[in-house]
Amino acid sequence: MSFVDYFKYVDNQYYGEELSLSEIAAKVGTPCYVYSRATIERQWRVFDSAFDSYPHRVCYSVKANSNLAVLDVLTRLGSGFDIVSAGELHRVMRAGGDAGKIVFSGVGKSDTELCHALKAGVGCLNIESESELHRIQAVAQELRVKAPISIRVNPDVDANTHPYIATGLRDSKFGLGARDAERVFVLAAAMPNIEIKGIACHIGSQLTETRPFIDSLEKLIDFIGQLARVGIGLSHIDIGGGLGIIYHNESPPTPDQYANALINVLKRRKCNLPIIIQPGRAIVGNAGVLLTRVEYLKMSSDRNFAVVDAGMNDLLRPALYQGFHEILPVRLSGSSTRHAYDIVGPVCESADYLGKGRVLDIGEGDLLVVRSVGAYGFSMSSEYNSRLRLAEVMIDRDKYYVIRKRQTVDQSMENESLLPR
Ligand code: LLP
């Protein structure tokens, strides 16, 4: 089965589930992120059921979208979570998530973060260096617990994606090469407060073919054989996240194709270890849009600009990765005065754009939606240019909930102070 989303035109008006986005804009103001609960639920279920024939756990990657209501929706489905900070841990716990279903990834976990994670009882710490292993042993000893760990290996596979989101090549800061990983596993096996659970990898994000996933799984299974020869047994394989979505004209594998490709490898190699998968984008990417209003149209003989009220601080992906997001008018006018526009924000940076050369029939004051921003949209936003964090809304059929209020001026300054007089 493929993913679908529940955003579409009904009578020339753009809708999320059963609500018109003009109505949301009128009630909540712009800019704001709007998510569809049904889309998130469907994507998670489609993903999870694709792996039905093999023991598995889906651990949603919280960094993609960490709003409490999003985590709440996923918790109710029984999801596990992939986290990378104590902040994400606290969010999952606040949303009622099960600590035992959490995997904690990341190259720089601090003592405090490790302590919080071990006290909460997270299911697995994915270790990325030898120093981290020693650190975890020390923290676990202090707390008198056994730390469940995996070691993240770097399979040296080219994910064929944007260089900023490729993580599986040999020169990446993530994971350990096979030789180092074996040494660290042997060290871990001898440590009193460490319990080896598994092996982990994550080769990159927005992958649009199955080949790199297959290649890295093959390498992981080779490596598991190597570990068995030195007497180290594992109880799971964490294959990371990374399945791509359709932003424009990509044709990523469907969750079924992705799952089948992986399960075929596992079965052919007679591996029966349960797997953990950490999808982020594939679950929430297409489940969110950014609703923004055209402030000014600036026409010239060289270029036309539509200056909108959302900027790169609200949605960084175009500026940082040249990410493409479809941009559509909320109301289709039916007139034929179309022009090509660069859709730009109010931030004082030339990189502040949401889309380039988009052919649209729009006027000042019109609403636009920027599609497929449910993942790495709000979660990567900032207050650059002292712009207030925008509101987030969740549509649930014919109702909507403000799941994050727009930040106020006072809130934006509440942790700062003037110097003493
Ligand atoms: N697991 C690990 C260890 C990760 O580092 C990541 C993403 C994921 C899972 C989830 O990957 P996904 O299924 O979402 O591809 N900001 C970038 C993406 C950065 C991804 C970082 N790691 C973007 O907007 O494209």
Domains belonging to the chain, first-starting first, are 7-35+285-413 (2.40.37.10), 105-279 (3.20.20.10)
pLDDT at 399: 98
Structure-token match 């994507």, residue found: 43
Residue to probe by mutation, ligand 1, list 278, 317, 322, most atoms within 8 Å of CB: 278
pTM assigned to the model: 0.97
> What's the token pair of residue 136?
């975890």
> What's the token pair of residue 13?
């008006």
Task: Tell whether ligand 1 has an atom less than 6 A from the beta carbon of residue 355.
Answer: no
CB-neighbour burial class of residue 200 (10 A; exposed 0-12, middle 13-18, buried 19+) = buried
CA 361 vs CA 25, 73, 299, 334: distances in Å: 19, 36, 13, 9
Task: Tell whether ligand 1 has an atom less than 6 A from the beta carbon of residue 280.
Answer: yes
- Identity of residue 202: H
Just list the catalytic residues: 348
Task: Give the E-state strand segments of 345-390 in sequence order.
Answer: 353-360, 367-370
Task: Tell whether ligand 1 has an atom less than 6 A from the beta carbon of residue 202.
Answer: yes
Structure-token match 């909320």, residue found: 330
Consecutive 10-residue averages of pLDDT for the chain (421 residues): 85 98 98 98 98 98 98 98 98 98 96 98 97 98 98 88 72 85 97 98 96 96 96 98 96 97 98 97 98 97 96 98 98 88 97 98 97 98 98 98 98 98 95
Q: 242 C-alpha vs ligand 1 centroid, how far in Å?
A: 6
pLDDT at 111: 97
Structure-token match 């068995």, residue found: 228
How many whole angstroms separate alpha carbon 109 and alpha carbon 132?
Answer: 8
Task: Tell whether ligand 1 has an atom less than 6 A from the beta carbon of residue 161.
Answer: no
- The 10 Å CB-count burial string (b at 16+, else e) for 85-122 is bbebbebbbebebbbebbbbbbeebeeebbbbbbebeb
Q: 241 C-alpha vs ligand 1 centroid, how far in Å?
A: 7
pLDDT at 168: 67
CB-neighbour burial class of residue 270 (10 A; exposed 0-12, middle 13-18, buried 19+) = exposed
